[in-house]
Amino acid sequence: MRTIDDLGDLSGKKVLLRSDLNVPLDGKKIGDDGRIRASVPTIKKLTEQGAQVIVCAHLGRPKGEPEDKYSLAPVAERLAELLGSSVEFATDTVGESAKEKVDAMKDGDVVLLENLRFNAGETSKNEAERGKFADELACLADVFVSDGFGVVHRKQASVYDVAQKLPHGAGDLVQDEVKVLERLTKDPEKPYAVVLGGAKVSDKLGVIDNLLKTADMLVIGGGMVFTFLAAQGHEVGKSLLEKDQIDTVKGYLEQAEKDGVEIVLPTDVVAATEFSADADHEVVAADAIPSDRMGLDIGPESAKVFAEKVKSAKTVFWNGPMGAFEMEPYAAGTKELAGALVEATKNGALTVVGGGDSAAAVRQLGFEDSDFTHISTGGGASLEYLEGKELPGLSVLES
């Protein structure tokens, strides 16, 4: 994979930098700035070389046209604070504002373009439309650096097509992410524990299938666990359940038993009358969830078992919270698991928190990024890498 170092002297060059600045916004307030902070080292590396850095990124899922709620303007302000220097903000992506800001750049300057997805060409399935937008982006710069790991699994104009139109290389963040994921897939140190949570088992089918070949244990929590419990014949009440995946999960349970992979499921859960912090809730046996309740967290006994399993491992990959951690009554399972990962890290284990909700959870619950070996910026990209899929945003950097 080509890197920044393969691009030679960048002094005075205009560098189009694809970052991942897709952060949660509440109005104009940024909920978790982890991805912005993760983008800073590569930006600084380029500006210190005298490059003129044109940062491009997306936020949310606008429909190919401008929407105020998805503007990157608040991100530009936070990025400037983290860089300790000014960041010019273009109010469009390839229009008059972008061209004006880019033309006025001096060495070491940073410009952030408005949300890429305000242009339909960014995510178009039509190669010609996507290519046209990539041409317009490429016209702004001399070279392209790909540093948005959270989007490298997407064949999009700013990720894939533009790399074919400019000299290109991977930024430091992308390189670091790939190095960590290689450690998870190429002869990981044993015991290897994979902790999976989140809402749906269907989101994790490919990764479960592939990890059954390499992991020693799969620890399952979150909303997806109820499909596993149903596959074992248990009543799950009003809990999230994907009935169409029950047979698939039965197959995984059988395969795991055959291959000697331990599947760790909760023995107790916190069950509530409705999805609300104020709802009546209680700890019940995982195999006896009342018909009028839904499971919203793993129970205290399960949290202890999950924690011990994690602390016994030399390699841990965690993707997906154990419950509805955003609500205090259902955060305990995720918090105890995170604490176990911290302890495993101190004991020398490789601990990887796989982006998205997991990264937001550990920060919201008071943990620091440095408490873990690595917090990924790309949940979906990490999962697809672990599935063994080819990621177009990486493969395009190989030539």
Residue 356 labeled ligand binder: yes
Burial class (CB in 10 A: 0-12, 13-18, 19+), 292: exposed
Residue 183 labeled ligand binder: no
Rounded Cα–Cα distance for residues 39 and 360 (Å)? 16
Residue 58 labeled ligand binder: yes
Question: Is 393 assigned a catalytic role?
Answer: no
Catalytic-labelled residue, pool 50, 95, 206, 380: 380
Catalytic-labelled residue, pool 13, 35, 309, 363: 35
Rounded Cα–Cα distance for residues 155 and 249 (Å)? 30
Residue 22 labeled ligand binder: yes
Residue 21 labeled ligand binder: yes
Which residue, 18, 14, 40, is CA-closest to 122?
A: 18
Residue 239 labeled ligand binder: no
Catalytic-labelled residue, pool 198, 339, 356, 378: 356
Q: Which amino acid appears at position 24 of this protein?
A: P
Rounded Cα–Cα distance for residues 174 and 59 (Å)? 19
Residue 358 labeled ligand binder: yes
Residue 326 labeled ligand binder: yes
Q: Cα 296 from chain centroid? A: 22
Residue 20 labeled ligand binder: yes
Catalytic-labelled residue, pool 183, 200, 250, 389: 200
Rounded Cα–Cα distance for residues 271 and 182 (Å)? 38
Question: Is 34 assigned a catalytic role?
Answer: no
Residue 60 labeled ligand binder: yes
User: Which secondary structure element, helix H or strand E, spans residue 263, and what is its range?
Assistant: strand 262-264
Question: Is 35 assigned a catalytic role?
Answer: yes
Measured in degrees and rounded to the nearest 5, phi and psi for residue 195 equal: -110, 120
Question: Is 356 assigned a catalytic role?
Answer: yes
Burial class (CB in 10 A: 0-12, 13-18, 19+), 99: middle
Contact 18, 151 (CB under 8 A): yes
Residue 68 labeled ligand binder: no
HSE at residue 345, side-chain half, CA atoms within 13 A, is 20
Residues contributing to the annotated binding site: 20-22, 35, 58-61, 117, 154, 204, 295, 326, 355-358
Residues contributing to the annotated binding site for substrate: 20-22, 35, 58-61, 117, 154
Residues contributing to the annotated binding site for ATP: 204, 295, 326, 355-358
Residues contributing to the annotated binding site for (2R)-3-phosphoglycerate: 35, 117, 154
Catalytic residues: 35, 200, 356, 380
